[in-house]
Amino acid sequence: MALINCPSCRIKMSSVAEACPKCGFALKKEGKADPEEVKLFLKRQLRDRMYRLKMISYVAMSIAMFGALPMLWDYIKGLETNQVVVLKEHWGIYAVGAGFLLYVIIRSLMVYTKSIHKTKWKEVNQLK
């Protein structure tokens, strides 16, 4: 038994382990990995992560909408009754702010995930 680097995420793992404990990449025999197999694994991993991030970004947009719609509603009602509705003081601004912030975080996580993937991809190509 020896310590090797996981072909996919590069952490140290046992060469007799069936799969990497961190990313789940399945090793075949004694730490040998086919680069094409690693690529396929990385592709699937990226797709799954991007899918999850996309779902969270939809949640973020819903949170923002959840705040924005009542704001708009109250604003229109205010116009009809000649009352000034200060949008900055409306509770909806917090939901809009939180949703927007979450959305920005998710977008940057997407960029980060893609750049990590690109780095791993280059490493796999150098293995050949």
Applying CB under 5 A, which residues contact Zn ion? 6, 8-9, 20, 22-23, 25
The closest of 48, 60, 46 to 106, measured between CA atoms, is: 60
- Measured from the CB atom, is 31 or 78 closer to Zn ion? 31
- Measured from the CB atom, is 88 or 122 closer to Zn ion? 122
- 83 phi, psi to nearest 5 deg: -105, 140
Q: At its nearest, how many Å lie between Zn ion and the CB of residue 21? A: 8
- Measured from the CB atom, is 8 or 57 closer to Zn ion? 8
Q: At its nearest, how many Å lie between Zn ion and the CB of residue 11? A: 6
108: Cβ–Cβ under 8 A, 6 or more apart, which residues? none
Q: At its nearest, how many Å lie between Zn ion and the CB of residue 5? A: 9
Beta bridge partners of 12: 5
Letter for the amino acid at 45? Answer: Q
Q: At its nearest, how many Å lie between Zn ion and the CB of residue 47? A: 17
- Measured from the CB atom, is 33 or 96 closer to Zn ion? 33
C-alpha span between 48 and 70 (Å, rounded): 34
